[in-house]
């Protein structure tokens, strides 16, 4: 167990490597109850979230989900998060470390808009089942027509008699689903899913494998690839920013970064190391023996059997194939810039 944003959370249940492989080959069950669940309603709720969100909320159809970022006036990332829209209300799902910061940011910007914001984190719970057999497991648990629930869609459903919100997103590079349920029901739901999925190879998965899986998939982690001093454009997330025909907090700062084509502009890249040494957060990225950037995340990829990492370097060095180095434990390990994601289901 480990302390994670004030929660006592499992780093692993058995072994990080075996949990990682379970998700890639069958399915893994994650307890995500540490993530925030903030319910936004009222006449102006969509207009309000559109003002705060780098991605557009206006035009988000009912029963759809959307990935986005909240930024400050300087473009710094307050959090990256997912928004679920039901019909006339929306669930904002922030990272655990930023739940209270996001709640405070929203309350500070309501102004005269007709919006109600409720923190439902303690009275609800959330789990995810991720992997190529995730849909099969849920079908065995009695969830009807799972295949009819498209990517980044959600619906109200029932699971083992409990009312739940079922969504299909993910943070692993695999197909997967999330379940938001009443907190008092989660223990029973968790045990029954594990029991139903055991013959298929389903395993409980902790924070350790969650991190290695998301890194293989090239997905950012707040505090590493994103922060109040790192904006989403630098992190390669421009495809999730809707600039045209709308105003939102941080827009002008993000536009300046997007238009900055100077060779020294900071950009996030993927790196493949020449050895199995693991690059760690904060270690230096080298070019010609000189530090040009820092590692944000690194691991040994169990799926690819290679040491991989992400980090920030000047744009002039960011082309795939560029030869760099990483300072790992007083040793300069050769590394090559590669495309992100490192792993996708197609490979």
Mean pLDDT of the region 18-41: 98
Looking up tokens 């019909």 gives: 87
Mean pLDDT of the region 135-153: 92
What's residue 329's pLDDT? 85
Largest Cα separation within the chain, whole Å, is 62
What's residue 123's pLDDT? 97
**pLDDT, tens digit, 9 for 90 and up, residues 161-215:** 999 999 999 999 999 999 999 999 999 999 999 999 999 999 999 999 999 999 9
**pLDDT, tens digit, 9 for 90 and up, residues 235-271:** 999 999 999 999 999 999 999 999 999 999 999 999 9
Hey, CA dihedral for 93, 99, 101, 105, is it positive or negative?
positive
Q: Give the pLDDT band of residue 347 (cuts 50, 70, 90).
A: very low
**pLDDT, tens digit, 9 for 90 and up, residues 220-230:** 999 999 999 99
Q: Give the pLDDT band of residue 330 (cuts 50, 70, 90).
A: confident
Q: Give the pLDDT band of residue 346 (cuts 50, 70, 90).
A: low
pLDDT at 332 over 60: yes
Hey, CA dihedral for 259, 263, 265, 269, is it positive or negative?
positive
Cis bond upstream, residue 341 (ω within 30): yes
Average pLDDT, the chain: 96
Strands of 64-71's sheet in order across: 64-71, 77-85, 89-93, 38-41, 116-119
Domains of the chain (ranges plus CATH)? 2-214 (3.30.1360.120), 261-347 (2.40.30.110)
> Which of helix, strand or coil describes residue 20?
helix
Q: Give the pLDDT band of residue 80 (cuts 50, 70, 90).
A: very high
């Amino acid at each position: 167990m480990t302390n994670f944003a004030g929660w006592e959370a499992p780093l692993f249940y058995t072994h990080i490597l075996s949990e990682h492989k379970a998700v890639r080959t069958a399915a893994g069950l994650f307890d995500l109850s540490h993530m925030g669940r903030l319910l936004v309603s009222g006449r102006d709720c969509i207009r309000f979230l559109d003002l705060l969100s780098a991605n557009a909320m206006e035009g988000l159809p009912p029963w759809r989900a959307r990935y986005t970022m909240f930024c400050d006036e300087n473009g710094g990332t307050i959090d990256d998060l997912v928004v679920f829209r039901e019909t006339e209300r929306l669930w904002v799902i922030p990272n655990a470390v930023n739940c209270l910061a996001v709640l405070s940011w929203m309350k500070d910007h309501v102004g005269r808009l007709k919006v109600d914001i409720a923190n439902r984190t303690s009275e609800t719970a959330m789990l995810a089942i991720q992997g190529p057999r995730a849909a099969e497991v849920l079908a065995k648990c009695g969830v009807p027509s799972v295949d009819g629930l498209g990517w980044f869609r959600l619906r109200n459903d029932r699971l083992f008699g409990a009312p739940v919100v079922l969504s299909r997103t993910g943070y692993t590079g695999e197909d997967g689903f999330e379940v938001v349920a009443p907190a008092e029901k989660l223990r029973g739901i968790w045990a029954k899913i594990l029991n139903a999925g055991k013959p298929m190879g389903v395993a409980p998965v902790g924070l350790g494998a969650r991190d290695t899986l998301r890194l293989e998939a090239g997905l950012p982690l707040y505090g590493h690839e994103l922060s109040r001093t790192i904006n989403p454009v630098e992190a390669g997330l421009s495809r999730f920013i809707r600039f045209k025909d709308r105003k939102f907090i941080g827009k002008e700062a993000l536009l300046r970064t997007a238009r900055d084509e100077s060779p020294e502009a900071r950009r996030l890249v993927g790196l493949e190391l020449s050895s199995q040494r693991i690059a760690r957060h904060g270690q230096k990225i080298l070019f010609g023996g000189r530090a040009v950037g820092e590692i944000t995340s690194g691991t040994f990829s169990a799926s690819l059997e290679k040491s991989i990492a992400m980090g920030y370097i000047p744009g002039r060095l960011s082309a795939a194939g560029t030869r760099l180095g990483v300072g790992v434990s007083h040793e300069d390990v050769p590394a090559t810039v590669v495309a992100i994601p490192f792993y996708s289901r197609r490979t």
